[in-house]
Every structure is written in C-alpha cells, then in structure tokens.
Structure 1
Amino acid sequence: MGMQPRHRTRCRGDDEDGECKTCDGDRTHRPPLKPATHGREAYSPSRYAHDAVTTQPADREPTNELRFSVIVPAFRAEATITATIESLLAQSYLPREIIVVDDGSPDETAEVVAGFGAPVVLIRQENGGTSSARNRGIAAATGDVICFLDADDVYEPGRLASVAAAFAAEPELDAVLTDAALVEPARTVLASSWWPAEANRVRLDIRAKIIFCALCIRRPVLTELGPFDQRFHLLEDVEMWHRIVCRGYRVGYVDEPSYIYKINPVGKTQAAQTVNGEWELFRIDLRYALAWKTPLSWRPRLAFRSLRHLRTSLKARVSR
C-alpha cells in the first residue's frame, strides 16, 4: 500500500447545516490511509512490464552501502506525482533521498509533494525548464549515485536493487543503464528494441537510443560532466548522453525493463519529433562530430547524421 500524502484540505461542511461530520473540530480534514492516486490508477508493476524485476517491499533492507539520490523534475504534475513517488518508496533498495524540484507549477504539485515525509525532499523554483530543474536537484543531492525519474513515470520495485548489484559486480563502472518499457495506449515496446543488432549491450555507444532517465550515474562523474545544457529545451538529455559516451565513461547495462516510461501524446517525446527537435538533434550531432574527445571512428557517423537531421528540419520548415 502506498503512502498517503499528509497535506490537509479545508473543511467546507458536509451536511445541510454546514457542519462537517468527518473533521476533528479544527475545520481540517485528515485523509484516510489509503493509496492516493490523485486522478490516476494506483501503481501496479505487472500492468506495465511483464519481464521487470518484481521484488516486494517486504524484502527491503534498512541500510545499504550505495546511497541513491533520485531527481524528479515536476511541472503541472499534480495528477501523476503521487504514483511516481510511491514507486520510489516501494523500492526493495530504498533511496537515500527523493528530490522533487517543482518547476514553478501553477497547480498543487508542490502541496502534494510536501505531504510526504522523509526521504522526500521538495525544492521549489521559478519555471526554468527541465534542465534547470535537474541541475537544481543535482546540486542538492548527497547520494553516491544520481538517478532520474520524470514526474509521470514510475520505477519497478526492484530497479535500484538491480542497479546497485551492477555497480557492485563491476565497481569500475561510471554509470548503469537499465532497459525501459515504453507504454502507449495500444502497445508497450522496449527501449532496447531501438538498438542496432550488433550493439554491445554491456558497453553502449553513440548508436544506442536510450531513455536517459533509465541511466544512473555516479555523482562525481556528473560533477565532471557539468550541468545539463539549458540551451536545449527538448533534447538536453540526448546532449548529456553524447557527452557521456564521447568522453569514454564506462556504462554498464542491466537487461531488465525496470523503468516504466509513459508516452504522453503532447509531451516532450512527441515534441522532439517536430521541427525544433530535428534542429536540436542537428546541433548536438554536429557539436560532437567536431569535438576532439569524440572517438575518430564515430565522427563520420555523427557528421552524416547531423546533415540528415538538418535536411529533415529544413524540409519541415519549408512545408509549413
């Protein structure tokens, strides 16, 4: 059972005389202890991915060596943030902290988050975009490993345990990526299905399209990489992935779809396929085709791909 937010709502009176029969006299309601869904179904792991890790919360350990900080940028997420946080609190390997950065939401996102206790931490800021919110969360994080989660997605209960096991098995790894299940109304596909058949699933390279939030990175590595580039408004995570692999960081892979990515028809995933998305892809690929840290064997591929994105972007602009 998920945790119920502890925020209170003002009593408006339930009977004809305006007297409330459920408050405790101070004119505030205390919600009953039941799973809070805020307009969506309660989180159910098996509903989204059949092959995901399903370690139950009862198996959790109270202390763990590797400390995880999970960064959740949130904007207008009142309807989804509860299930997102509950999926983190249901982890068999509990995170050290869950940092939710409310990016100037005009709804009650911050109030919902504030109803949770530790390890949930709420940071509020003026609207600055996803990159700004992630950077703010990273700056506040104290864990050994930084993970990311969008405010309308969820983790399977065994996700952090599988990532911790991967780091323990190969301590030299700088980051660990898990597979992800992309959930649409009519179908579910795996992120790994995008990869070329010859791609190395243990040491990924620039060819792999990934769900960036399925990546967990050691905090010192993120410090070396620097912040997300706020000049990219749609594909800042793609730029960061290029930065990671082109600089030769070691990325491990867990072949389990333990990140559940909800496809939003009006979200950033779809927006990335627009003219502006193609233009940002052109800029990213060109940047790393010319970067001196990019392996020489990758540069022709990146240069060719950048021209393809440029052509697509220009054709779309002309056809408008």
Structure 2
Amino acid sequence: MLPKVSIIIPFYNDPYVDQAIVSALYQTYPNIEIIVVDDGSTRHQEAITPYRSRIHYIGKQNGGTGSALNHGIAMASGKYVAWLSSDDRFLPEKIARQVAYMEQTGARICHTDYHVMNEHGAITQYAQAVKYHSAKAFITGIRHGCPVNGCTIMMTKELFQDIGGFNETLPYTHDYDLWIRVLLCRVDFHFLNEPLTVYRRHSQMGTVRNFDTVLREANGVNARYAQLLDQLLASMPG
C-alpha cells in the first residue's frame, strides 16, 4: 500500500485559500489527507466551505504559522507530511513524484524546485530554487540565509517529531530554524530537481509587509547557529 501523506495548510485571513485546497485535492497521488488549520481567522472562511467534507478543518487561537503547522502535524496520520501555504499551489504530480523519490532513496526530508506566480495566478518566473552541487555547498548556503522554500518540503512525521517541531516564538523564520536543526542532527537534506510547487509572490505577503522584522529575525537565527554550522562544515570533506 502506498504510504499516506498529510498535507497541512495553515490559514489566516487568506483570500487564496480555496486555490491551495483545490491544488491539494487534485493531486494524482491517491493516499493523502488534507488538514486545514484555521489560525484564528476572521475573514475568508467561506472560501473553505465547499471543501469541508473532503478535508479536516481545525480551528485554533491565533498563534502564527509555526504554531498552526505544529498543531496540524500533531494531528497528522501520514508517514510523510507536507506544508502548503494558503496562498501557494501544488502542481498535480507534487506528492506522487516526491513520495516516489523518498521511498526510493530512503530520504527523511526532501525539497524541490518551484515556479513563482503573481497575485492573479500567472507564472512569472520558472524553476527558481537555488541549486547546489554538493551537500557541503548547500550547508554553506544555509549558513548565510534560507534557500529552501518551505512549501516544497516533504519529511517524515517521525523526523519532525525527533527534531522537536517548529519554534513558535519565531513568527517568520520558524522554517529556517528547523532546517538548520535538521542539518545539525546530521540528517541528509535531499533535493529533487523538479518544479512541483507554485509559490505566490504578492504585496500582502507577511514577508513583504514585514520585511525589516523578517530580516532581523533571520539574522538572529543565523547568529544562534553560526558556530555549530561552521563546525559541521569543517567536519565535512572537500
């Protein structure tokens, strides 16, 4: 039997959420569950109504994306978990291609390439993931910033639990923090070089509206782990 994949969609006042849900529902991979975590929204819940019978819809007090993801993944019953932001979309083969890769390689975590779309859903940039020629080059990249698009990630739920989940005190860089902790645990971070997600870039994104705050937070995460990442890099050949 194909392993189950749990797709977690954190939602907070996002008018695009129905498009995200539809892209999850129309995956070619048959064994999925979709968990939409309403993080205390006050608007746009009506967009979810037509799909309520086909998803798990969970409400909670507002606590940020990291807390919504932790809440949803705690409820997940899949071997693998994937995160889909409520303003992004999965391409139809996303789950099928990534599961096949992870089952074949034994990867515990994997990210992929992605396209970029605008607020109207038109793709404006293709294959935008940063590509690295080696694991050491990837770790060097993450030492200076976050090259991983969180919505391209698939990981085992077991790994997520082992690492300890997202740091809920980090509103914007909980993903960057988790990827670093994965690397520091000497877990191989695989890359599947196929664009399987479409990432929406628009003026109302939290990372756009709060850019200076995001930058300060990212710099803090970077400083916290810099010495440990340098030690990891020094231990690697090449």
Could you say which TM-score interval applies, normalised by the shorter chain? 0.7 to 0.9
Please give the alpha-carbon distance, in whole angstroms, between the structure 2 residues aligned to 1:244 and 1:269. Answer: 23
Give per-residue Cα distances to partners, 1:179-215, cap 9 Å, x unaligned.
11122478314332x34xx532799435151101211
TM-score after normalising by structure 2: 0.86
Provide the residue aligned with 1:218 in structure 2.
Answer: 156
Work out whether residues 112 and 196 of structure 2, in 8 Å CA contact, stay in contact via their aligned partners in 1. Answer: yes
CA deviation after TM superposition for structure 1 residue 98, in Å: 0.4
Please give the alpha-carbon distance, in whole angstroms, between the structure 1 residues aligned to 2:148 and 2:50. Answer: 33
Q: Structure 1 counterpart of 2:6, which letter?
A: S
- 1:200 paired with 2:149, answer no
TM-score after normalising by structure 1: 0.65
Q: Structure 2 counterpart of 1:106, which letter?
A: T
Alignment of 1:137-156 (within 5 A): 137-156=72-91
Work out whether residues 207 and 214 of structure 2, in 8 Å CA contact, stay in contact via their aligned partners in 1. Answer: no
Q: Structure 1 counterpart of 2:115, which letter?
A: A
Provide the residue aligned with 1:265 in structure 2.
Answer: 203
CA deviation after TM superposition for structure 1 residue 285, in Å: 1.1
Please give the alpha-carbon distance, in whole angstroms, between the structure 1 residues aligned to 2:218 and 2:52. Answer: 40
Q: Given the alignment, which residue of 213, 221, 226 partners 1:284?
A: 221
Please give the alpha-carbon distance, in whole angstroms, between the structure 2 residues aligned to 1:214 and 1:202. Answer: 20
Alignment of 1:240-259 (within 5 A): 240-259=178-197
Give per-residue Cα distances to partners, 1:8-59, cap 9 Å, x unaligned.
xxxxxxxxxxxxxxxxxxxxxxxxxxxxxxxxxxxxxxxxxxxxxxxxxxxx
Coordinate RMSD, CA, aligned: 2.3
Provide the residue aligned with 1:10 in structure 2.
Answer: none
Work out whether residues 114 and 122 of structure 1, in 8 Å CA contact, stay in contact via their aligned partners in 2. Answer: no
- Helix, strand or coil for the counterpart of 2:51? coil
Could you say if the C-alpha distance between residues 273 and 190 of structure 1 is closer, same or farther in structure 2, counting changes exceeding 3 Å? farther
Provide the residue aligned with 1:99 in structure 2.
Answer: 35
Could you say if the C-alpha distance between residues 118 and 144 of structure 1 is closer, same or farther in structure 2, counting changes exceeding 3 Å? farther
Q: Structure 1 counterpart of 2:97, which letter?
A: S
CA deviation after TM superposition for structure 1 residue 267, in Å: 0.9
Give per-residue Cα distances to partners, 1:88-129, cap 9 Å, x unaligned.
1111103421000001111141x4434325541000011111
- Helix, strand or coil for the counterpart of 1:179? strand
Q: Given the alignment, which residue of 52, 55, 61 partners 1:126?
A: 61
The structure with the greater share of residues assigned to helix is 2
Work out whether residues 4 and 79 of structure 2, in 8 Å CA contact, stay in contact via their aligned partners in 1. Answer: yes
- Helix, strand or coil for the counterpart of 1:115? helix
Provide the residue aligned with 1:181 in structure 2.
Answer: 115
Could you say if the C-alpha distance between residues 259 and 175 of structure 1 is closer, same or farther in structure 2, counting changes exceeding 3 Å? same
Task: Give the number of the structure whose alpha-carbon radius of gyration is greater.
Answer: 1
Work out whether residues 202 and 252 of structure 1, in 8 Å CA contact, stay in contact via their aligned partners in 2. Answer: no
Give per-residue Cα distances to partners, 1:129-181, cap 9 Å, x unaligned.
1111111101111100010000011100001110111012112x111211111
Q: Structure 2 counterpart of 1:65, which letter?
A: L
Please give the alpha-carbon distance, in whole angstroms, between the structure 2 residues aligned to 1:108 and 1:270. Answer: 21
- Identify which of structures 1 and 2 has the higher relative contact order when contacts are C-alpha pairs closer than 8 Å and 6+ apart: 2
Q: Which runs of 5+ in 1 are unaligned?
A: 1-63, 300-320
Equivalent residues, number: 227
Please give the alpha-carbon distance, in whole angstroms, between the structure 1 residues aligned to 2:199 and 2:101. Answer: 21
Q: Structure 2 counterpart of 1:71, which letter?
A: I
